[in-house]
A and B are shown apart, each in its own frame.
Chain A
Amino acid sequence: MTEKVKLLSHVEAINWNRIQDDKDVDVWNRLVNNFWLPEKVPLSNDVQSWNTLTPVEQQLTMRVFTGLTLLDTIQGTVGAVSLIPDAITPHEEAVYTNIAFMESVHAKSYSSIFSTLASTKEIDEAFRWSTENVNLQKKAHIVMDYYQGDDPLKRKVASTLLESFLFYSGFYLPMYWSSRAKLTNTADLIRLIIRDEAVHGYYIGYKFQKGLEKVSEEKRQEIKDYTFELLFELYENEVQYTHDLYDGVGLAEDVKKFLHYNANKALMNLGYEAMFPSSVTDVNPAILSALSPNADENHDFFSGSGSSYVIGKAVNTEDEDWDF
């Protein structure tokens, strides 16, 4: 980057005993409690499973993970950092540093997967592919442009769309393998990343909405139009990227449903209504269950098919302050 790096011009000692926005403390605590490192996940147990994949499936998996590595690298070294100068509270600044570090952990964890499963040659080839794939590079350039732009609200929109939408063409694959009982330890690691990205998208989206409250109605409309334009631009590119990756294994159409589903969630994180109708967000139930065992709607009384329903499953209820 040749541009002058934007930094805060003034900093005061952060006082965690004087809080302006409780959400900063809640999210900081949530992120700290969720902290993890790839070394804790027994990835080597996936070696046998990896060897059952065809060469095409292995190559696809490597490419998907280099694509995700690129996004995490951007978010860790540019995206989350670019939000710091716009922060409204000092605690918000601190949360962004946590997010930035965690993105670097995510980026590194893909390398742990690679070194466990693949040869140096295969790893190098996958990284070379990531620098040469037009649609992956385009996605990176689009968000990088907005991170370097001068509108704090637009930066948050780009950041939320990255956290809550752009990752999912990649996240689909480990959930797919997991649903077929393959690479299950790798999937466990990816689930930790998926959980983190949800908190990041939620928080940046929340701060975006707080910022939106402070601007004129005209500006609000401009930002809304911009958000949907950017989403469409990124979406069209994601569709191309999805075909590049998944056409060889015939999964592209299924992946696109997952994209629509997550685009809706990204919009909701920004406080906007979901855009894609349910007819195109009907994600394969096996993928949803791989994401969350509770996502099976048949547990719900309203959605259940018949006369009986399942009362909430047995759970650990040890909240000390729950005293009835």
Chain B
Amino acid sequence: MTTPTISRNVRGRAGVEPLETDASLIYFSSASDNTHRFVSKLPVRSARIPLLTSEDTLRAVSPFVLVLPTYGGTSGKGAVPRQVIKFLNVEGNRRLLRGVIGAGNTNFGDTYCLAADIIAAKCNVPVLYRFELMGTSEDVDRVTQGLEEFWT
């Protein structure tokens, strides 16, 4: 589970300018790596939003789908990870966002995948899919197929 914070689809120099990526799938995953493991099983190019908010965030240069988890909270407050807020505060990133996929756990009740709902509402894009933890093989198949149709 030694995972680089940035995938190979990212170019640019850290600390100097925002890291550009043309990946069609951009995701955030905490140190638990659940979302990372799910994304790794998809046959699409992806880029990971840096784990630390002190690091420069990514800059998308082509349309993309965002995948992000929600950790169980009591309300909407704080549902969207700070790292993702930093990423979406870049206006160009919001403009290229086409859809959101949420990860989570139904045990969290009302807040299951809430971060995906919040971003979808704010950015006026659809929630494409929801899956739990690192996803099952069926989730991988459905998202693979769904994304293929979504981009055509």
Contacts and interface: CB of A to CB of B under 8 A. Distances in A.
B107 interface: yes
B128 A319 contact: no
A291 B73 contact: no
Contacts of B137: 273-274
A315 B121 contact: yes
Nearest to B149: A302
A198 B132 CA distance: 11
A317 B2 CA distance: 34
Interface residues of B, number: 57
A319 B77 contact: yes
Interface stretch (A90-98, A130-138, A189-197, A245-253): A189-197
A315 B82 contact: no
B127 A295 contact: no
A34 B72 contact: yes
Interface stretch (B11-19, B20-28, B110-118): B110-118
Interface in A181-214: 191, 194-195, 197-199, 202, 206, 209, 213
A20 to B, nearest CB: 12
B136 interface: yes
B106 interface: yes
A293 B110 contact: yes
Interface in B99-151: 99-100, 105-110, 112-114, 116-122, 124-130, 132-134, 136-138, 142-143, 145-146, 150
A124 interface: no
A47 B108 CA distance: 27
A258 B52 CA distance: 37
Interface string B23-65: 0000000111010000000000000000000000000000000
A294 B112 contact: yes
B74 interface: yes
Given A23-B30, A265-B133, A274-B136, A34 B91 contact: no
Given A30-B73, A317-B121, A324-B88, A297 B130 contact: yes
B110 to A, nearest CB: 6
B107 A312 contact: no
A269 B33 CA distance: 11
Nearest to B138: A278
A199 B107 CA distance: 9
A311 B124 CA distance: 7
Contacts of B9: none
Contacts of B94: 324
Contacts of A198: 72, 105, 107-108
A303 interface: yes
Contacts of A33: 73-74
B89 interface: yes
Closest 10 CB pairs between A and B?
Answer: A312-B120, A302-B146, A198-B107, A312-B117, A268-B133, A292-B106, A312-B121, A292-B112, A294-B112, A316-B76
25 contacts: A21-B31, A34-B74, A194-B109, A195-B107, A199-B72, A206-B31, A209-B32, A265-B105, A265-B133, A268-B34, A278-B136, A291-B107, A292-B110, A294-B130, A299-B130, A301-B99, A303-B142, A310-B127, A311-B120, A312-B117, A312-B126, A312-B127, A319-B77, A321-B82, A322-B85
